[in-house]
């Protein structure tokens, strides 16, 4: 369970504030020891504040597979403290010493390498560590001997050979009692003081609504394995940076923009982007904004834009944009980057507020935790929960506090001392200085309507006469709040337009694939103070309120105003009222909507041409925006970036490992990207597995070590059919010559009747072979045709390799769901990765395919051009085994890769893997298609290379003849797992 506190951040506090927390919070478990660690890496020079903490969190959760950051508290080189894991939960500190839900240690990580010759352990970090240790042993009535170094419980040197334990404990003993009764009050003196607000947020997290007490009742899946322990010697900075780029399951993304956030790009954005952290100008993170930056906007950039507009004999149009809530800095910057220069090209000056408001994953995680606490996790998949159960979980388990805090952040921004208030005053002054030359417009998406509910009244009170247009996209503001803020100032708004979904589309949307309606419905039912709170963006709320119906002209206008609501998808031929979005988060990517917004800002009619129409970014329409694993702003955090960080919607550009090859062009010299999609599914409702998630994590670690960008991960509930195909398709479509792509799958396979007769001539002529996603029981299988349709689009010069660790098709069907007799090893926890497709699965599959218009065939010419290679876990007559929590093929293959791949061919790698299985293996890994063994392993491939390698006689007619490469191989491999 991520320790991302409300507001989307770990909290930075000081020693006095820790003392206040210790006085006001009583952990549900007994604290009987304090464990002290150093990170080893990141070191002092790697520390970058919040980004480093998030990087550690992601390393622990993504790479290590833990539920949260390992430690309860982190001590930074500057002496500051960062909150971490909830105090009610045992840490991931040392094998056999992590304790339980009843009793155990409090874990501290100190950032640095304190082995001899490493970082100096000096003030302010040293004095902070001593004060913290003294406060903890005082609070929990422990002796100083209860302070245990990591090296007392393991063979590691942690927390460093340069730290003398006895001397440190003597200093702690001398410090004891200093802070007793001296902590400042818990209540913040001002909501706008960052430190006090951080203390308030930390206290809310640790004490909030009885949530922590509930965690003791969660099933074992929410606790770490007994052997969880930080791997200090392996946790190097590069791994941290790369792990941090794998984003939360709920991060919103809809675009693939190939732009790096270099210093030049940052400077290009600076005139248009105002970054706020909890209402104040952001002084750290990916993109900073200072008061001087804002002054420069009004003293340099806007005067220049005004002069340009005057030369073109038009007014200077300024649009003030606020993105949606529950997104972090990178996602807010992603919205700005895809919009800003489009506005500029159309003669509009954009001012984008990036107001960091937290992560959707925090909201999703607390809901899932509540469901698990209710015991339902063991009974069925989370996606099967009725919406009413989700709503109840959200109300019960502190989810409302995330939404309430988001609104609080919006309020802080425009309150005295807030960054948005400063901007409002500047905007008003600038407008007053140029009364006839400047037009103001405002746009807000989702919770951006809450932001404008506070900002616009402040802007008007500062002296701005009014805005010419206000356009709200799927507004999440309540009707009461709208009426009390924006509606009260409606005379200062020239024209109000709302773009939002029809109720049918609202109900067809989903949140994170667990709630089967839109975010607005979840807010309506569960996240506001009252149930069924009317929201401005819900059609049912508008049609139920006579004031809104009259305002928007739905029923009997009572004024001459022309305010409008556009129900999406619209059928209006007026291009000022066009919208096609059918997802709550999709309006700011929808060309119809954005071009309608532009027309209203620019004063264009529906028939006037738009200078530079908005074009939808490369998108995955079938992927849920809440749960896409690619970040809208995919930037590595958690260490000290030593180069410009890439801005890419589907990847991070870490330097690739050079692959030896005979060719010398750019696509062959390692300059391409090295990307991977890793899928692992244990939590099947039928025949669950044990080792597939561990497999995916092992592949991810192995590929990162080989120079791959941090892989996209789909684990358990994330690995739906739509997610697997959507993410793989996006990766292939966005690949360029020189790229290397890996697709890895660990889970069940099955075979279902072939509806398209495309398997004739294979070893399973009547079946379609299929992977089993987490939602396969609904008929949502990934058949070989689905994969073929993606792989036929592989661009020339792009190499794709698949590693499939599950059973094969063919004669294995005679063994049913069990292993061949005599092959099991009774002393191991062993399972075969196979699901028998019973009548229910087959009927569901056929119904699903029929609803989608039948299976897709892939023509011979398209397949002949494919450049894809498959390593299969075993022969078609064998079982793919997992034992002791890992797939046998994955175990041997990842070890073989770890030995190095420079100059290695596919055939040599296969031989290395086969040899590792021993003299009498029970499964024999294979390489497909025949003839590609001489090609370089994980090396960019040109069409001529494959054609030369596959210069074999023409295959027979039928589908089997079309698949001389991966399609046939996958058809051979996936059948009856």
Cα 157 to Cα 73, 231, 232, 238: the distances in Å are 20, 11, 9, 21
Helices (H), 716-797: 721-733, 784-791
The residue whose two tokens read 């390799």 is 801
pLDDT at 187 over 90: no
Higher pLDDT, 100 or 451: 451
- The pLDDT score that the predictor gives to residue 949 is 53
Cα 908 to Cα 625: distance, rounded to the nearest angstrom: 41
pLDDT-wise least confident of 174-183, 291-300, 771-780, 831-840:
174-183
Q: What is the pLDDT of residue 202?
A: 63
pLDDT for 750 equals 81
Alpha carbon 451 to its chain's center: 24
Average confidence (pLDDT) over 497-526: 89
For residue 402, pLDDT over 90 is answered with no
Q: 117: Cβ–Cβ under 8 A, 6 or more apart, which residues?
A: 162
CA pair distance 550, 286, nearest whole angstrom = 45
Structure confidence at residue 653 (pLDDT): 28
646 vs 260, 355, 705, CA distance in Å? 4, 21, 19
Give yes or no for residue 704 having a pLDDT over 90.
no
Contact 676, 743 (CB under 8 A): yes
- The model's pLDDT over 780-833, given as tens digits with 9 standing for 90+, comes to 888 877 888 888 888 888 889 999 988 653 222 222 233 333 344 443 456 665
* Higher pLDDT among residues 512 and 532, named by residue: 532
Do residues 111 and 75 lie in contact, with contact meaning Cβ atoms separated by under 8 Å? yes
Pairing of strands 147-149, 30-38: parallel
- Residue scoring higher pLDDT (421 or 748): 421
Q: How much is the average pLDDT of 442-471? A: 97
For the sheet with 749-753, list strands across it: 749-753, 767-771, 782-783
What gap in Å lies between CA 578 and CA 837, rounded to an integer? Answer: 45
Residues 387, 390, 391, 392, Cα dihedral to 10°: 120
CA atoms within 13 A on the CB side of 692: 35
Give per-residue pLDDT as tens, 315-341: 999 999 999 877 777 778 888 988 998
Q: Output the CA angle 907-908-913, nearest 5 degrees.
A: 95
- Mean pLDDT over 555-577 rounds to 84
Determine which of 48-57, 90-99, 782-791, 940-949 has the lowest per-residue pLDDT on average: 940-949
How many residues in the chain?
977
Of 293-307, 757-771, 893-907, which range is least confident?
Answer: 757-771
502/479 Cα distance (integer angstroms): 17
Residue 659, pLDDT > 80, answer no
Asked whether residue 159 carries a pLDDT value surpassing 90, the answer given is yes
For the cut 80, the answer to whether the pLDDT of residue 182 exceeds it is no
Q: Which of 113-117, 385-389, 722-726 has the lowest mean pLDDT?
A: 385-389
With pLDDT > 70 as the criterion, what percentage of the chain qualifies?
Answer: 70
Q: Which residue has the higher pLDDT, 434 or 97?
A: 434
pLDDT class of 398 with cuts at 50, 70, 90: low
Q: pLDDT band for 210, please (50, 70, 90 cuts).
A: very low
pLDDT of res. 619: 42
Query: Rounded mean pLDDT of 493-506?
Result: 96
Residue that wins the pLDDT comparison between 697 and 824: 697
Which is more confidently placed, 704 or 496?
Answer: 496
Residue 8 confidence (pLDDT): 42
pLDDT at 668 > cutoff 80: no
Q: How sure is the predictor about 366, in pLDDT bands with cuts at 50, 70 and 90?
A: low
Q: Please give the Cα distance from 355 to 280 (Å, whole number).
A: 9
User: Which one is predicted more confidently, 365 or 754?
Assistant: 754
- Count CA within 13 A, CB hemisphere, residue 832: 25
Cα–Cα dist 456/608, whole Å: 30
What does DSSP assign to residue 68? S
- DSSP string for 70-128: S-SEEE-TTS-EEE-S-TTS--S-STT-S--SSEEEEEEEESS--STTSS---TTHHHH
What pTM does this model have? 0.47
User: 573-578 long-range CB contacts below 8 Å, 24 or more apart?
Assistant: 573/606, 574/606, 575/599, 575/606, 575/607, 576/600, 576/604, 576/605, 576/606, 577/606
Beta bridge partners of 511: 515
Q: Which of 212, 185, 3 is nearest to 107 (CA)?
A: 3
Determine which of 101-110, 139-148, 772-781, 833-842 has the lowest per-residue pLDDT on average: 833-842
Instruction: Reply yes or no on whether the pLDDT at 221 is more than 60.
Output: no
Q: What is the DSSP letter of 183?
A: P
As a whole number, the mean pLDDT across the chain is: 76
Q: What integer is the mean pLDDT of 218-238?
A: 51
pLDDT at 105: 95
201-205, 859-863, 939-943: which has the minimum mean pLDDT? 859-863
pLDDT band at 16 (very low <50, low <70, confident <90, very high): confident
Instruction: Match 């770490």 to its residue by tokens.
Output: 224
- Among residues 88, 66, 8, 11, the alpha carbon closest in space to that of 362 is found at 8
pLDDT at 345 over 50: yes
Mean pLDDT of 709-722: 90
Q: How confident is the model at residue 512 (pLDDT cuts 50, 70, 90)?
A: low
With bands split at pLDDT 50, 70 and 90, how would you rate the model's confidence at 655?
very low
Q: Residue 358: what pLDDT?
A: 57
CA distance 886 to 355: 43
Confidence band, pLDDT 50/70/90 cuts, at residue 255 = very low
Q: Judge contact between 683 and 716, C-beta under 8 A.
A: yes
CA 31 to CA 99: how far, in whole Å?
9
Q: Per-residue pLDDT for 469 more than 60?
A: yes
């Amino acid at each position: 369970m991520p320790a991302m506190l409300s507001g989307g951040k770990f909290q930075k506090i000081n020693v006095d504030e820790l003392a206040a927390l210790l006085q006001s919070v009583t952990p549900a478990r007994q604290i009987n020891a304090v464990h002290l660690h150093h990170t080893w890496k990141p070191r002092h020079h790697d520390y970058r504040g919040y980004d480093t903490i998030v990087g550690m969190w992601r390393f622990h959760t993504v790479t290590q597979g833990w539920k949260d950051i390992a430690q309860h508290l982190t001590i930074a080189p500057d002496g500051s403290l960062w909150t971490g894991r909830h105090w009610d939960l045992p840490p991931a500190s040392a094998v056999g010493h992590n304790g339980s839900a009843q009793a155990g240690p409090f874990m501290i990580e100190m950032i640095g390498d304190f082995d001899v010759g490493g970082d100096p352990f000096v003030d302010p970090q040293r004095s902070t560590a001593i004060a913290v240790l003294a406060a903890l042993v005082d609070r929990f009535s422990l002796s100083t001997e209860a302070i245990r170094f990591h090296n007392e419980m393991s063979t590691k040197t942690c927390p460093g050979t340069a730290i003398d334990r006895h001397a440190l404990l003597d200093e702690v003993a001398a410090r004891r009692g200093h802070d007793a009764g001296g902590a400042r009050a818990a209540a913040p003196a001002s909501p706008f003081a960052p430190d006090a607000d951080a203390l308030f947020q930390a206290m809310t997290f640790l004490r909030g609504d009885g949530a922590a007490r509930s965690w003791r009742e969660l099933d074992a899946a929410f606790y770490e394995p007994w052997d969880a322990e930080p791997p200090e010697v392996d946790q190097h900075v590069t791994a941290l940076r790369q792990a941090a780029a794998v984003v939360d399951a709920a991060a919103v993304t809809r675009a693939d923009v190939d732009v790096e956030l270099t210093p030049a790009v940052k400077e290009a954005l600076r005139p248009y982007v105002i970054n706020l952290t909890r209402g104040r100008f952001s002084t750290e993170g990916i993109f900073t904004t200072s008061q001087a930056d804002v002054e420069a906007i009004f003293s340099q950039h806007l005067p220049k834009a005004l002069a340009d507009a005057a030369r073109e004999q038009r007014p200077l149009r300024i649009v003030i944009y606020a993105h949606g809530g529950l997104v972090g800095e990178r996602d807010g910057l992603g919205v700005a980057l895809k919009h800003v220069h489009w506005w500029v090209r159309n003669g509009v000056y954009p001012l984008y507020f990036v107001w960091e408001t937290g992560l959707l994953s925090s909201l999703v995680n607390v809901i899932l935790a509540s469901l698990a606490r209710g015991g339902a996790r063991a009974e069925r998949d989370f996606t099967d929960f009725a919406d009413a159960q989700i709503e109840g979980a959200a109300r019960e388990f502190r989810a409302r506090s995330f939404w309430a805090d988001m609104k609080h952040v919006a309020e802080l921004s425009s309150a005295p001392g807030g960054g948005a208030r400063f901007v409002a005053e500047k905007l008003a002054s600038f407008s007053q200085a140029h009364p006839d030359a400047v037009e103001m417009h405002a746009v807000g998406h989702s919770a951006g309507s809450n932001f404008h509910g506070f900002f616009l009244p402040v802007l008007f009170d500062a002296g701005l006469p009014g805005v010419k247009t206000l356009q709200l996209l799927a507004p999440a503001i309540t009707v009461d709040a709208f009426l009390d803020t924006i509606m009260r100032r409606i005379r200062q708004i020239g024209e109000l337009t709302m773009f939002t979904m029809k109720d049918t589309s609202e109900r067809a949307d989903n949140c994170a694939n667990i709630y089967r309606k839109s975010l607005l419905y979840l807010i309506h039912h569960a996240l506001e103070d009252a149930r069924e709170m009317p929201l401005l963006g819900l059609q049912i709320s508008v049609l139920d309120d006579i004031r809104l119906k009259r305002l928007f002209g739905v029923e009997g206008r009572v004024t001459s105003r022309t305010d409008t609501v556009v129900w999406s998808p619209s059928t209006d031929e007026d291009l000022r009222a066009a919208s096609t979005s059918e997802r709550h988060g999709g309006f700011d990517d929808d060309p119809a909507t954005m071009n309608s917004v532009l027309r209203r800002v620019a004063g264009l009619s529906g028939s006037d041409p738009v200078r530079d129409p908005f074009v939808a970014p490369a998108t995955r329409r079938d992927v849920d925006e809440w749960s896409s694993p690619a970040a809208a702003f995919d930037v590595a955090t958690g260490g000290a970036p030593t180069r410009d960080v890439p801005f890419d919607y589907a990847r991070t550009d870490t330097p690739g490992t050079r692959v030896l090859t005979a060719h010398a062009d750019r696509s062959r010299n390692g300059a391409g990207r090295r990307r991977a999609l890793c899928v692992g599914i244990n939590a099947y409702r039928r025949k669950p597995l044990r080792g597939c998630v561990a497999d995916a994590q092992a592949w991810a670690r192995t590929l990162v070590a080989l120079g791959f960008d941090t892989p996209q991960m789909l684990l358990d509930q994330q690995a739906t059919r739509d997610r697997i195909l959507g993410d793989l398709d996006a990766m292939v479509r966005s690949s360029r010559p020189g790229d290397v792509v890996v697709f890895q799958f660990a889970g069940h396979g099955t075979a279902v009747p072939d509806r398209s007769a495309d398997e004739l001539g294979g070893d399973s002529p009547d079946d379609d072979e299929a992977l089993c996603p987490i939602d396969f029981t609904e008929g949502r299988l990934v058949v070989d045709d689905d994969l073929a349709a993606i792989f036929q689009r592989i661009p020339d010069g792009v190499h794709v390799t698949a590693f499939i660790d599950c059973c094969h098709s063919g004669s294995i069907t005679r063994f049913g769901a069990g292993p061949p007799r005599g092959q099991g090893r009774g002393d191991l926890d062993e399972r075969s990765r196979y699901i028998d497709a019973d009548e229910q699965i087959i009927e569901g599959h056929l119904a699903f395919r029929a609803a989608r218009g039948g299976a897709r065939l892939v023509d011979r010419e398209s397949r002949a051009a494919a450049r894809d290679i498959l390593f299969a876990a075993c022969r078609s007559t064998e079982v793919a085994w997992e034992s002791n929590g890992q797939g046998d093929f994955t175990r041997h293959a990842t070890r073989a890769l770890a030995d190095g791949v420079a100059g290695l061919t596919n055939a040599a790698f296969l031989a290395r893997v086969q040899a590792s299985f021993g003299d009498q293996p029970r499964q024999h890994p294979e390489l497909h298609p025949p003839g590609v063994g001489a090609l370089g392993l994980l090396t960019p491939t040109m069409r001529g290379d494959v054609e030369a390698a596959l210069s074999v006689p023409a295959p027979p007619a039928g589908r089997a003849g079309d698949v001389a490469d991966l399609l046939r191989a996958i058809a051979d491999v996936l059948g009856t797992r």
